[in-house]
Amino acid sequence: MELNQLSDRAGARRARTRRGRGIGSGKGKTAGRGHKGQKSREGVSLQGFEGGQMPIYRRLPKHGFTNIFREELVPLSLGRLQSLIDASRLDASAKIDLAALIKSGVVKNDRRGVKVLGDGELKAKVDLEVSGASARAREAIEKAGGSVTLVSRLQQARALRAEAGGEGARRTERKAKSEKPQTPQAAPGNPSDGKTVKAKGEGSVKAMPASKEGSSAASASSPPLTGSNDKPSSDDH
């Protein structure tokens, strides 16, 4: 037999039915839908409708609920645990916790805990700190001389973040980097301070602020100005 002679058994691959392709195909014209009626039209969905009577999915009682606090745990068998130890990805002499499992690649991050299952064989003595363990896995670990400590996933995640500096510390550091240093503002003073007066034929000269006493004396000694329309009175002559 050659490669070009290989084929499926007769009847293993059945061609799909092509509807509406002529009456000779057996599924032409009405395409198997019959004449008229609601179900012969397009876009009709009557699944679960029982002609107006109470449908079955409403006649049956409700049961159970969805636990919104349910945690998804990553399964870890004893056989895989032993293979990770043999490959030097886990150190059996040290405590195996969530941080070690993340480093070895068993778990991607601290959002999911780990549950040890009893499949496979464990030869090494290990000290595990996980979120869950089956009775069979616990028995096998204790038989090998190890121990199992159950810690919630949230406690392990908090411990990891505390070792890494904590989320609050990282948030404060990011905020400090994003803030720009503010320049000190000048104290409010006399609006005339700092103005320059430029005389004719001279350079710019900085005007000195006048004191209150000098300004009052100058105003008292200077005679009042008279306008051009003011006429001398008869008492002056």
Strand partners, 73: 113
Q: Tokens standing for 143?
A: 């038989």
Cα–Cα distance measured from residue 110 to residue 113, given in angstroms and rounded to the nearest whole number: 7
- What are the pLDDT digits (tens) for 140-178? 999 999 999 998 888 888 888 887 765 555 666 677 777
The CA distance from 103 to 152, in Å, is: 19
pLDDT bucket at 200, cuts 50 / 70 / 90? low
Mean pLDDT, residues 196-211: 52
Read off the amino acid at residue 167.
Answer: E
The domains of the chain are located at 73-163
Judged against a pLDDT cut of 80, whether residue 197 lies above it is answered with: no
Which position has the higher pLDDT, 32 or 222? Answer: 32
The Cα–Cα gap between 84 and 78 comes to 10
Per CATH, the number for 73-163 is 3.100.10.10
Please measure the distance between the N-terminal and C-terminal CA atoms of the chain and give it in whole angstroms.
149
Rounded average pLDDT over 124-137:
92
Q: Which of 26-35, 166-175, 192-201 has the lowest mean pLDDT?
A: 192-201
pLDDT at 155: 84
Report pLDDT digits (tens) over 77-129.
Answer: 999 999 999 999 999 899 998 889 988 998 888 788 899 999 999 999 999 99
